[in-house]
Amino acid sequence: MSNVPFPTGPNLGGMIAPQVEAAQPWLIEVASDGAERVFDFGDLHRAAAGVALALRARGLAPNARVGIIGLNCAEYLLSYYGIMQAGLCAVPIGYKLAQDTVEHIVEDAEVELLYADAAWAERLEGKVPVLPLDDRAAWWAHLHQGPFDIAQVQARDPATILYTSGSTGTPKGVPLTHGAYIWTLDRVSVNGGEFIRRTAARVITAAPLSHMNALFLAKTVTAYGGTLVLMTHFDARAFLESCMRHRCAVVTAVPTMLALCARETATIARLDLGAVQSVAVGSAPLTGALCEQIAAIFPHATVQNGWGTTETGPAVFGPHPEGIDRPPLSLGYPLQGVEVRLEGGTGDEGELYVRNGAIMPGYLNRDDETRKRLKDGWYRTGDVMRRDAHGFFYFVGRTDDMFVCGGENMYPGEIELLLEKHPGVAQAAVVPVPDQIKGQVPAAFIVRRPGSTVSGDDLKQFALSNGPAYQYPRFICFIDEMPLSAANKIDKKHIQQMAGGLSR
């Protein structure tokens, strides 16, 4: 599909842009105190090879699992590429997870060695051998030098195992194969890859590298020859300032991060953010209200509403093959080589099933879950989608989020979209609460826009006037900010706990 001459061989760790000079910046790390470190493509090649040689010297068997846990940093990604180049399998682990969850992942994935920051190294003492991640002197000292060839692997070998967020239970391991993700990198040429290659674009992210969003972005920027501006953690003001300072052309974030940026009105007013040409949003639903806020922050940018799961990869939707403009909030049109179908609803609305070249082979050690989700190469996503007359797809809600109110199927995402159309609402999160008559009714938690005085009664009347009567929230609770999960998504589990005392 793409014209990018990827290196030969199926090792994902070798997917590093061949057309760039060694001195071209590869990664700019921005720390919480504003300090920066710059690494070029030559540094990437040398350090990844050094990691691979050091790991080979330990005598690990091919495809052995090596974990990574810590804040975003250059060493995180250099370790990641070196692990794969050595013919081993990387297991990124969320550093905000609970101790028992991290221990479960280490055991479930049979992690034999772990790159860890000091805090996690202490907490996991005796559980698994550890190499330092945030001790820079020790990390660089452990590298080896010498002749090196990237390990030959099979396309079906796992390059990475990512763990799902566990929103519905214990996190599940998702093996991602070398072949599947080289296929995916090729397909995203139409979703920004070619733009990055052509312009050597600077792309910013602050999402954790333990999740698909930021990790695949890093692979895309590396494969197509751009520069990744990587923040060690997210802070809205620092994020916006880094966008301007580095003249970033592409901004990537989850919706909650951009909603927090929109509240930094004084910062936005003093910054020149005109270099931003594209804002890629993913990992959670995008609303019309947030699109308006993004346009106000980045006046020259187009908004790309992305969709993908850990199990399918991000190469599912893209531009229309006939050049039809993508409507606002649309996820796009199915990419070449991607099959989709809708089941369990009307012809143009239902649960999305996907089959493409990146579908996982099955959950790690969870045959029961694999049988529920995967059949004949088709992955059952659990996402309800709508398809319009031109073939564009739109997210409606999650099948496991749906609840019944007086006989009506309720999708929290639809109610949130409605509420966020009100000019006084910055963010909305809807959860069900018990009701003696209707079984369950919607309760809405609202973050007002700066200066807004909208009341609960105002929002109930707005919902009744602009949507189906059964959808209006019976409870309105105002909060200062949304609780966030480790992936910077709205933490619906926490919201549900906050709603624990509400009932009728």
Backbone φ and ψ for 288, nearest 5 degrees, come out as -60, -40
Residue 26 lies in a domain: yes
Prediction pTM value: 0.85
459 in the same domain as 379: no
- Report the C-alpha gap between 184 and 190 in whole angstroms: 11
Verify that 373 and 410 share a domain, yes or no.
Answer: no
Q: End-to-end CA distance of the chain: give it in Å, rounded.
A: 56
The CATH number given to whatever domain includes residue 380 is 2.30.38.10
| Judgement on whether residues 394 and 463 belong to the same structural domain of the protein | no
The answer to whether residue 419 sits within a structural domain is yes
| Residues 394 and 489 occupy one common structural domain | no
Please say which residue of 179, 205, 233 terminates a domain: 233
Same domain for 389 and 493?
no
Q: Quick count: other Cβ atoms within 10 Å of Cβ 244?
A: 16
Q: Which CATH number characterizes residue 494's domain?
A: 3.30.300.30
As a residue count, the chain comes to 504
Q: What is the pLDDT of residues 301-348, one digit of tens each?
A: 999 999 999 999 999 999 999 999 999 899 999 999 999 999 987 789
28 and 141 in a single domain? The answer is yes
In a domain, 89, yes or no: yes
Q: What is the pLDDT of residues 148-202, one digit of tens each?
A: 999 999 999 999 999 986 444 688 999 999 999 999 999 999 999 999 999 999 9
195 part of a folded domain: yes
Q: How many domains does the chain have?
A: 3
Same domain, 92 and 125: yes
- Does residue 264 form part of some domain? no
Is 142 within the bounds of a domain? Answer: yes
Between CA 410 and CA 413 the distance in angstroms is: 9
Same domain, 222 and 361: no
On whether both 388 and 452 belong to a single domain, the answer is no
Q: Per-residue pLDDT for the chain (504 aa), expressed as one digit of tens each?
A: 344 445 446 899 999 999 899 999 999 999 988 999 999 999 999 999 999 999 999 999 999 999 999 999 999 999 999 999 999 999 999 988 889 999 999 999 999 999 999 999 999 999 999 999 999 999 999 999 999 999 999 999 999 999 986 444 688 999 999 999 999 999 999 999 999 999 999 999 999 999 998 999 999 999 999 999 999 999 999 999 999 999 999 999 988 889 889 989 999 999 999 999 999 998 777 878 888 889 999 999 999 999 999 999 999 999 999 999 999 899 999 999 999 999 987 789 999 999 999 999 999 999 999 999 999 999 999 999 999 999 999 998 888 888 888 777 788 888 998 999 999 999 999 999 988 777 889 999 999 998 999 999 999 999 999 988 888 999 999 999 999 877 677 888 899 899 987 866
- 488 is in which domain, residue-wise? 403-498
**Position of tokens 């996690």?**
120
Report the 10 Å Cβ neighbour count for 481: 12
Q: What is the CATH number of the domain that holds 136?
A: 3.40.50.12780
Does residue 304 sit within a domain?
no
Choosing from 383, 398, 413, the residue where a domain stops is 398
Which H or E run contains 351? strand 349-355
64/198 same-domain check: yes
SS3 339: strand
Domain boundary among 214, 233, 252: 233
Query: Do 487 and 165 touch, CB atoms closer than 8 A?
Result: yes
Per-residue model confidence as pLDDT tens digits over 9-52: 689 999 999 989 999 999 999 998 899 999 999 999 999 999 99
Residues 345 and 461 in one domain: no
Neighbouring-strand partners of residue 68: 92, 115
Q: Are residues 92 and 193 in the same domain?
A: yes
Residue 310 within a domain: no
